[in-house]
Structure 1
Amino acid sequence: MSLTICYQDEWLVAVNKPAGMLVHRSWLDRHETQFVMQTLRDQLGRHVFPIHRLDKPTSGVLLFALSSEVASLMQPIFQSHAIEKRYLAVVRGWLKEGGVLDYPLQKQHDKIADSKASQPAPLQDAITAYQPLAHVELPIACGRYETSRYSLLSLLPQTGRKHQLRRHLHHLSHHIIGDVNYGDGRHNRLFREHLHCHRLMLHALSLRFVHPITHQAIHIEADFDDTWQQLMIKFGWQEFLPQ
């Protein structure tokens, strides 16, 4: 397979990561045979250096440097949060107003490095700005309700904790559809059985940052896959599809 390239210059390259694809090899998924990092390296015929990560089930913009020197220049930009990462998510329920959730999350132990840790991991600051964009009510019963309600959210994480968006939406009781770790199984099943949606409905839509070499403002956007596009059309949310 080949990856869709969203942006490329002589220092950086960004791809549209497919849902279900790991960024790089991991002992947690020994059975996987395709990885973004190796696929992109083979596609470009040169080494690439990951600057950040996306969870396996999340799709969207994923940025790489084309040299270790540029990767080193980009790391402080991410660490100082001098980059805007915008996600879109479909969540259960109608969230009427936007806000900023400042809710610390417990650091998740690494299954290998922290396997012998005896103390609970510390809490870490975690901040997410969220804004509802659209709503839909489906004539499909779920639980004790005769209809099912969902919202399309814009999410701007201001910190970068593991599974931050999924855990924050769980805290708000507006679970992201398709989330098997922190989500609501009844709504996940409804989307699978009635809407043929078998993925996490979280998409890294765009990145905005100042280029470390050219110092120009960079805006990179990733299109939606077929599952997203079909749902957006079915729900009447076409205006939020990238042009």
Structure 2
Amino acid sequence: MPPLKILYQDEHLVAVHKPSGLLVHRSALARGETQFLVQQLRDQLGQRVYPVHRLDRPTSGVMVLALSSSVAALLSEAFSERQVEKRYLAVVRGKAPEQARLDYPLREEDGTRPKAEMPAMPAMTDIRRLDSVELPVQVDRYPSARYSLVEARPLTGRRHQIRRHLSRRGYPIIGDAKHGKSIHNRFFAEQLGAPRLLLAATHLAFDHPLLGVRLVISCGLDDTMSALLDHLGWAGHLPLDSAQTPALGAPSALQTP
């Protein structure tokens, strides 16, 4: 596999672009898999790394890992205490609202107990439509098909929260096999060259646990999503790789492999 793209690195933590389809670490639910982000990054850097948050396997984008257990504890606390600003880009079916707060409680999906036994937990996601398009093709029962580019900001951290919230509101993410609609997923896979979940983590902002500065990390899209946005006329919304410390008024030093 090609090396992971490093977006930011210092002696305490590292941020990488996680490819779609790559598991973060070994899981009992993914027996037989041999490729994992944690092991790959450990071999790439030559040192242990500690994941402090999660991204679903089909989701791509920015992921932060600590380089020591003490920093991992600090970063994990920041994520659990909702002190980290997160933004995602998603391509969804339909013309999404210009702006909305999705406030639907969600049952945890841990795979160990029936859903009926899992308590519903508060969950909140802010969404904003960045662009939309109407294609003159009949994908479903209508003579044309509408799709939107949505920015999502999860304010809580429930499993599959963005995917479930958007589906619940009627704007499922394209490529979502569980919460989406297969006919639209097939159209994007077969006609638009996008056979994956069209959800990417593009932005993280948090206080560095040891350096005392605000760290803002942006992550560009992979080739599949970049080509799709360009094809749909949404290239102006493509994010770029960057890491900045606004408090210092200048970009931070980037280290790449």
Q: Report the CA distance shift for 1:34/1:109 in structure 2 as closer, same or farther (over 3 A).
A: closer
Aligned partners of 2:115 and 2:185: how far apart in 1? 34
Q: Report the CA distance shift for 1:202/1:119 in structure 2 as closer, same or farther (over 3 A).
A: closer
How does the TM-score come out when normalised to structure 2? 0.90
What's the counterpart of residue 157 of structure 1? 154
1:125-183 Cα shifts (integer Å, max 9, x gaps)? 10000000000111221121111110000000000001001100110110000000100
Q: Which runs of 4+ in 1 moved over 6 A?
A: none
Letter matched to residue 149 of structure 1: R
Q: Is the 8 A contact 2:109 2:115 kept in 1?
A: no
SS of the equivalent of 1:214 reads coil
TM superposition shift of 1:195: 0.6
Aligned partners of 1:106 and 1:136: how far apart in 2? 33
Aligned partners of 1:118 and 1:97: how far apart in 2? 32
Alignment of 1:82-231 (within 5 A): 82-111=83-112, 114=113, 120-231=117-228
1:63-103 Cα shifts (integer Å, max 9, x gaps)? 10000000011122111111101000000000132111111
Structure 1 residue runs of 5 or longer lacking an equivalent are none
TM superposition shift of 1:121: 0.6
Aligned partners of 1:67 and 1:31: how far apart in 2? 28
1:5-50 Cα shifts (integer Å, max 9, x gaps)? 1111110101100000000011212222110000000000000000
What's the counterpart of residue 80 of structure 1? 81
What's the counterpart of residue 236 of structure 2? 239
SS of the equivalent of 2:16 reads strand
Aligned partners of 1:203 and 1:119: how far apart in 2? 30
TM superposition shift of 1:118: 9.7
Q: Is the 8 A contact 1:109 1:121 kept in 2?
A: no
Letter matched to residue 175 of structure 2: G
SS of the equivalent of 1:166 reads helix
Aligned partners of 1:33 and 1:9: how far apart in 2? 28
Aligned partners of 1:23 and 1:75: how far apart in 2? 15
Q: Report the CA distance shift for 1:118/1:131 in structure 2 as closer, same or farther (over 3 A).
A: closer
Structure 2 residue runs of 5 or longer lacking an equivalent are 241-257
SS of the equivalent of 2:146 reads strand
CA RMSD of aligned residues (A): 1.3
Alignment of 1:52-67 (within 5 A): 52-67=53-68
